[in-house]
Amino acid sequence: MTTLPLTYSPEVATALKAGGPVVALESTIITHGMPYPQNVETAQMVEADVRAAGATPATIAILNGVLHIGLTDAQLTELAQATDVMKVSRADMPVCIAKGATGATTVAATMIAAHMAGISVFATGGIGGVHRGAQETFDISADLLELGETPVTVVAAGPKAILDIPKTLEVLETHGVPVIAYGQDALPAFWSRESGITAPLRLDDPALIAKSAKTRAAMGLKGGQLVANPIPLADEITRDIIMPYVEQVLAEAEAQGIAAKAVTPFLLQRMFELTEGRSLVANIALVRNNARLAAQIAVAYTL
């Protein structure tokens, strides 16, 4: 599928050679989503969750211009403390590699790398989407277009709460992307189990989610599918509590001229401050929850 050299961790190389289940994991959550040392501790917990569910974790990142499919513990720790790490998506991923830089992969870039490596399932926190005011700014995440192009099943806790969720769903529908709520009718929205919107589709069985992906491939349909997995009930921050903070932070970002890729890191830091750390606890819980479900899907995919 690619002529670009890929570097596999020993664990991932062994799993892929044996045809075993593998789950791709992004790296922007390590470099741009959480402070040190919570970032590396979370990355290690997420990888452990994947292993406990019977699959092999493959954290993806670009280290000194080399695309790595799976990182060692030493590489995870090094990345967690690195500075001047590029946040790479489809547009800048080749540039990062060409100039020998270090880059953390977003949803779109992780999907690309996973597909290049032959990995069909990917776990993340939340996906990007259509930002509010996009009718003026045209600020739409590359994640949505990648879901319409690249055949990877993405498990996320729904669209991020800062987004225009109805417009995000419309773009996904236009690109033929199945949006599947897992275990409930409501579409989750990152920190909250419900967004106030009913999901277009619902499946309650990881095996059916895997079968759906295989069916798309058998039909010759391009693109992946989005599995919206609600945050565990005990860890959620309900919309009535979280949305006033979101509105405040978005207003602060606009006032300070913060836009595009800088919005999410700013949002996460300010939400951490405003919720006195509760948002970070929820963020960690939802990522781990997504990793566990992704591993179950990956296991079913190999059967």
Annotated active-site residue 160? The verdict is yes
Annotated active-site residue 254? The verdict is no
**Three-state secondary structure along the chain?**
CCCCCCEECHHHHHHHHCCCCEEEECCHHHHHHCCCCHHHHHHHHHHHHHHHCCCEEEEEEEECCEEEECCCHHHHHHHHHCCCCEEECCCCHHHHHHCCCCEEECHHHHHHHHHHHCCCEEECCCECCEECCHHHHCCECHHHHHHHHCCCEEEECCECCCECHHHHHHHHHHCCCCEEEECCCECCECCECCCCCECCEEECCHHHHHHHHHHHHHCCCCCCEEEECCCCHHHCCCHHHHHHHHHHHHHHHHHCCCCHHHHHHHHHHHHHHHCCCHHHHHHHHHHHHHHHHHHHHHHHHCC
Q: Of 26, 146, 149, 194, which residue is the catalytic one?
A: 26
Q: Of 47, 87, 146, 160, which residue is the catalytic one?
A: 160
Catalytic residue set: 26, 160
